[in-house]
Amino acid sequence: MKKKLLSALLSAAMVATMLTGCGSGNADAPAADGAAAGTEETAGGEDAAEGEGAEGEAEADAVTTVGDPNGTHMEMWSFVEAHNTFYAGMLEKWNEANPDRTIEITFTTYPYADMHTKLLTSLTAGTGAPDLCDVEMGQVPNVYEGVDTWLYPLDDAMAPYAGDMLTSRLDAYKGSDGKQYGAPFHVGATVMYYNMAVLEEAGITQADVDAVVTWDDYAELGEKYLDAIGRPEGKYWTSVDTAGVDWQWIAMAEYGEDWTGGFDGEANVQLESVKKMLTMEQEWVNSGLAQVSPDGHVDLEAGFQNILDHNIVSFPKAMWYMSRFINYMPEEKGNWYIAKCPVFEAGQNCSVGIGGTGTVVTRQSSDPALAADFLCYAKMSPEGETVIWNDLGFDVCNTALWSDEAFAHDESNQYNTFFRNYPYDVLNDIKDQIGTIMTVKISPTINEQFCNVTLNDILENGVDVEEALQAAQDVVSLEQ
Amino acid sequence: MKIKKFLYSQKVAPYVFVLPFILSFALFWIYPLCSTIMMSFQDVGPAGAEWVGLKNFSKLLKDTVFHTAIKNSMQYMLWTLVLLIPFPMAFAVLMDSRLVKAKGVWKAFLYLPALTSVVISGTLFRLMFSEYKTGQMNVIMAALGFGTFKWLKVKATGLMALLIVCCWRWTGVNMLYFLSGLKAIDGALYESAEIDGANAWQKFRYITIPLLKPTTIYVLTISVYAGLSMFMESYMLWAGPDSPNNIGLTIVGYLYKRGITKNQLGYGSAVGLVLLVMALIINIVQLVLNGTFKKEER
């Protein structure tokens, strides 16, 4: 009898272990793969380039708990470890200043794709979402789909700071119902970066660069540079992107157009501004003035190398690209000069806010009002903005600080000393000329079509601009 | 006593033994399959799921990007069949012959890539095929006196890169399948053929190939499915589901893009269902033509 009992037990154990074996095997494998894939995307992915994700080569699942253990406990997710470090520092300050409303936050850093997938899934499921979460600009339309049912509006919490914030930037993070759901880190104003050290060797002075107003002037200066260096193979004035739509955004902002059509409109990619920019880019590639950016845009390893090799000496990019110089191209210190972007016709707006991270408070939060207050304090107050500029190197949205001597000309800030001029001097100059392109539901489709097909067709395969834009419009219209 | 009767019952025992499989099969296959079929007729949004009838499928018919994905996956699948059946079979025959020394070492070498992570190897291959002049392939091109080439921006070389990753990874595995098939062939057959004066080619053609047929059909079946459902390789090679002119977009890549990145689970489910139907049709036709379902083959 004993023997039989034993054998019964053994077979039961066997069945049980087989079951758990099957279960965990099936559950774990894809998750592990996904995590690794996500990390990679953050390092080189196209989406990451739109924001400030590239410095986010964080370990998967870096978890830290900071703050007052007796305070309200919250969860916060980000895809960039530096962001979480920033919030943790601001949390200490918040707790000191608000002893009656202390918070303890568990910060988790996930890889880019994983974090957004997890957030969307938990919001859809109605459970498991964090109290606060970073959302990258490209992902904003997905997360904003459930505006008021998923997210908590920040309008009340940001009231003390809203007056100083750049309105066009706040607008970019508004939901379709007009409420503010995301708090921005930076303006992401596009500017033109010039390698002055190389240009001076070719006899081009800072005054020449400052004299550039229109794209024609810009191209003319480029020809002058190429003539001066004897047009060697592999050297170009600039590089145009096939895996990013920054150039098209600049063009649209200059003409005050927007291909998304806003929240209620129909998307239209066949805009005059877009056509002009693409035609110009195509001409440049054909004439040898510009090359196509290696791997598609300048915010990738190959792009950094291309800049370091001085294959290109100027390019337009958002202000947050400054941190790429510090992190990936430190040997370029003192060489680069930041200037306004050229325009098509004198008098147009010359900049547009690109990329960014909007931080949201979810409705699932244990105390959404408190979370919103902390978030706005961290990302919009002068204290918070100073830390953002010093530690993260972003062009902050609090315009009151832009002309503050102690802030904008602080010599202990590495960004202020890296370039030939003070970044905020340029920003102050273009303060009223920073346009906004909306990021709405159709935006990911437009970006995808342009980065995958349209830009490659026009700039790599020489397809006619009108023809390529018609094809893009057909795809976009299908999704409307 | 009832328990004893239960445990020793010849009728019950088989069910107890297959239960773990049935359970995991139901939980991880049947249930997702059913909910995929359901969701493919729905629009799954923040407010919950909404029935939309055949809308997802009619949109698929018009969706040119999806058509590109199907074309890419089919092309890739056909090429893997061409490359991953004859060559591993030839390697297996070599390994089984007396021509090769240190067989263990060779087998290990060929099998090793299957053990590495696709994520790591995909990234390495991406760097090798980089369009920048420091990429390994461009270094080789330069050594041969050619200029740099944009490997991952051109359809033909992009597909070639995918196939190289695929062959590098799966040749060893398929070789092992064929090796096990070869071991099952009775050596006496070869001996008698030799006595009858058959040469090496005749032995291969008239003994090895026919007797390997069950293995070949198995490899063919899984290759069709694996080829159609390829995703990781292209995802890693282009650092995401996006590639220039969609040259690296596969059906599963498109499913991922729609279902996960864009959170359109309904439309993604429709894509998945089309993949399932395609793989089923191709494999059933292939199995019928090969006579797998005929009674005498059993």
Percent of chain A beyond pLDDT 90? 64
Confidence of residue A430 (pLDDT cuts 50, 70, 90): very high
**Tens of pLDDT along B170-229?**
999 999 999 999 999 998 999 999 999 999 899 999 999 999 999 999 999 999 999 999
Distance from CA of B57 to the nearest CA of A (A): 13
Count other Cβ atoms within 10 Å, centred on residue B157: 16
Report helix, strand or coil for A322. helix
Enumerate the residues of chain A whose CB falls inside 8 A of the CB of residue B252.
Answer: none
The residue in chain A having the minimum alpha-carbon distance to the alpha carbon of residue B61 is A478
Q: Are A314 and A193 in contact (CB under 8 A)?
A: yes
Domains annotated on chain A, with CATH: 54-187+355-401 (3.40.190.10), 190-352+437-479 (3.40.190.10)
Check pLDDT > 70 for residue B297.
no
A35 Cβ under 8 Å from any chain B Cβ: no
Interface probe for A, chosen from B59, B132, B237 (most Cβ of A below 10 Å), is B132
Q: Do B24 and A452 touch (CB under 8 A)?
A: no
Could you read off the pLDDT of A71-93 as tens digits, one per residue?
999 999 999 888 999 999 999 99
User: Distance (Å) from the C-alpha of residue B131 to the closest C-alpha of chain A?
Assistant: 7
Cβ contacts of residue A365 below 8 Å, gap of 6+? A74, A131, A132, A152, A371
Residue A15 has pLDDT above 70, yes or no: no
Angstroms from B58 CA to nearest CA on chain A: 11
| Closest chain A residue to B234, measured at CA | A37
Burial class (CB in 10 A: 0-12, 13-18, 19+), A266: exposed
Q: Is the pLDDT of residue B96 over 90?
A: no
CA B131, B135, B141: angle at the middle one, nearest 5? 85
Q: What is the mean pLDDT of residues B100-116?
A: 89
Q: Which domains does chain B have, with CATH numbers?
A: 57-297 (1.10.3720.10)
CB contact under 8 A, A452 and B246: yes
Which residue in the set A23, A123, A475 is minimally distant from B65, CB to CB? A475
Cβ-nearest to A23 among B24, B153, B232 = B24
Q: Which residues of B touch A18 (CB under 8 A)?
A: 20
Closest CA to A369 of A143, A152, A132: A152
Residues 142-181 of A with CB under 8 A from B: 142, 145-146, 149-150
Do the bridges between strand B42-45 and strand B48-51 make them parallel or antiparallel, or are there none, so unpaired? Answer: antiparallel
Is A120 touching B (CB cutoff 8 A)?
yes
The two three-digit tokens of residue A19, written as one number: 């079951």
Start-to-end CA span in chain A (Å): 72
Q: CA of B45: which chain A residue's CA is closest? A: A124
Q: In this structure, how many other beta carbons lie within 10 angstroms of the beta carbon of residue A277?
A: 23
Please state the rounded mean pLDDT for residues B277-285: 93
pLDDT of B267 reads 94
Tell me the per-residue pLDDT of A412-428, one tens digit each, with 9 for 90 and over.
899 999 999 999 999 99
- In Å, how far is A232's CA from the nearest CA of chain B? 15
Q: How confident is the model at residue A7 (pLDDT cuts 50, 70, 90)?
A: low
β-partners of residue B42 are B51
- What pLDDT sits at residue B135? 86
What is the average pLDDT score of chain B?
Answer: 89
Distance from CA of B169 to the nearest CA of A (A): 17
Range B185-198 burial, b when 16+ CB lie within 10 A, else e: eeeeebeeeeeeeb
pLDDT at position A257 over 90: yes
Q: What is the per-residue pLDDT for A190?
A: 95
* Arithmetic mean of pLDDT, B39-53: 84
A123's tokens: 């919001």
Which pLDDT score is estimated for A73? 95
pLDDT at B1: 66
| pLDDT tens-digit readout, A269-290 | 999 999 999 999 999 999 999 9
pLDDT band, very low/low/confident/very high, at A371 (cuts 50, 70, 90): very high
Say which amino acid occupies A434: I
- Chain B residue numbers with beta carbons less than 8 Å from the beta carbon of A472 are none
Looking at the DSSP bridge assignments, the partners of residue A63 are: A108
How many C-beta neighbours within 10 Å does residue B160 have?
A: 14
Mean pLDDT over the full length of chain A: 86
pLDDT band (50, 70, 90) for residue A13: low
Chain B interface disruption, residue of A117, A140, A452, most B CBs within 10 A? A452
Q: How far are the Cα atoms of A208, A351, A426 from residue A341, in angstroms, in the given order?
A: 14, 7, 10
Average pLDDT of span A309-317: 96
Q: Given CB atoms, is A8 within the 8 Å cutoff of chain B?
A: yes
Q: Amino acid identity, residue A262?
A: G
B199, with CB counted inside 10 A (0-12, 13-18, 19+), is exposed
Chain B interface includes A34 (CB < 8 A): no
This prediction has a pTM of 0.79
CB-CB: which of B59, B63, B131 is closest to A294? B131
A 297-356 → B contacts, CB under 8 A: 302, 305-306
Sign of CA dihedral A417, A418, A420, A425: negative
Closest chain A residue by Cα to residue B130: A295
Which pLDDT tens digit goes with each residue over A212-237? 999 999 999 999 999 999 999 899 99
Interchain proximity A150–B59, CB inside 8 Å? no
Cross-chain residue pair B46–A146, CB shorter than 8 Å: yes
pLDDT at A26 over 80: no
Nearest 10 degrees: Cα torsion B78, B84, B90, B94:
180
| Interface size, chain A vs chain B, as Cβ–Cβ contacts under 8 Å | 111
Of all helices (H) and strands (E), which one includes residue A122?
Answer: helix A112-125
What value does the mean pLDDT take over residues B256-263? 85
Residue A206 has what pLDDT? 94
Is residue A58 within 8 A of residue A81, CB to CB? The reply is: yes
Pairwise CA distance, residues A452 & A243, whole Å: 7
Cβ separation A478–B244 shorter than 8 A: no
- Give the containing element (helix H, strand E) for A76: strand A72-78
| Range scoring the smallest mean pLDDT among A187-201, A366-380, A459-473, B252-266 | B252-266
Mean pLDDT of A100-113: 92
Please tell me the predicted confidence (pLDDT) of residue A49.
37
pLDDT at B101: 85
Q: Are A48 and A137 spatial neighbours (Cβ–Cβ below 8 Å)?
A: no
Give the separation between CA A280 and CA B142, rounded to whole angstroms.
Answer: 32
Residue A33 has pLDDT above 60, yes or no: no
Give exposure, B2-38, as e/b (b: 16+ Cβ within 10 Å).
eeeeebeeeeeeeeeeeebeeebeeeeeeeeeeebee
- Checking if the pLDDT of A43 tops 90, the result is no
Q: Please report residues of A whose CB lies closer than 8 A to that of B20.
A: 15, 18-19, 22
Q: Parallel, antiparallel, or unpaired for β A190-195 and A336-339?
A: antiparallel
If pLDDT is split at 50, 70 and 90, which confidence band does A308 have? very high
Question: Does the structure's ipTM exceed the value 0.85?
Answer: no
User: CA of A468: which chain B residue's CA is closest?
Assistant: B245
Give the whole-angstrom CA distance, residue A407 versus residue B144: 55
